[in-house]
Amino acid sequence: MTLNVRNVAVIGAGLGGLACAIALHKQGFEVQVYEQAKDFRPVGGSLGLFPNGLNFW
Ligand SMILES: Cc1cc2nc3c(=O)[nH]c(=O)nc-3n(C[C@H](O)[C@H](O)[C@H](O)COP(=O)(O)OP(=O)(O)OC[C@H]3O[C@@H](n4cnc5c(N)ncnc54)[C@H](O)[C@@H]3O)c2cc1C
């Protein structure tokens, strides 16, 4: 069975969701991102990315 999926919904605009959406978009998919939060607010944290995590681009 061959699936011809071109449209993808990503639920959640956190780091994982946005990385997934960018990767899918780069592969030619139409991506819609849905986020429940009404606005962006600081949560008092930060993200540490190691060098191998930056090779994505
Ligand atoms: C206070 C704090 C400090 C932190 N400090 C660090 C740090 O110093 N270094 C580090 O590396 N990591 C840190 N982290 C961890 C880091 O924030 C998480 O590992 C990372 O954000 C996880 O990304 P994620 O995309 O998996 O999930 P999340 O960032 O949780 O994203 C999930 C998103 O999905 C949305 N969502 C959920 N359900 C639905 C739904 N039904 N419909 C629509 N949207 C939905 C949520 O609103 C959220 O925006 C910290 C976390 C916290 C809370």
Q: What is the pLDDT of residues 17-46, one digit of tens each?
A: 999 999 999 999 999 999 999 998 888 888
Q: How far is the CA of 27 from the centre of ligand 1 (A)?
A: 24
Which residue is it, tokens 């899918």? Answer: 24
Domain assignment present for residue 46? The answer is: no
Per the structure, the count of domains in the chain is 1
Atom of ligand 1 nearest to the CA of 15: 25
- Evaluate whether 9 touches 35 at the Cβ level (below 8 Å): no
With 80 as the cut, is the pLDDT of residue 1 above it? no
Domain assignment present for residue 49? The answer is: no
Domain assignment present for residue 40? The answer is: no
Q: Is the CB of 50 under 6 A from ligand 1?
A: no
DSSP-assigned states of every residue in 22-41? HHHHHTT-EEEEE---SS--
Domain assignment present for residue 18? The answer is: yes
Take residue 18 and report the two structure tokens written for it: 């946005």
With 90 as the cut, is the pLDDT of residue 3 above it? no
Atom of ligand 1 nearest to the CA of 43: 1
User: pTM of the predicted model, to two decimals?
Assistant: 0.84
Q: CA angle 19-14-8, nearest 5°? A: 55
Identity at 6, one-letter amino acid code:
R
Instruction: Provide the domain limits for residue 18.
Output: 7-33
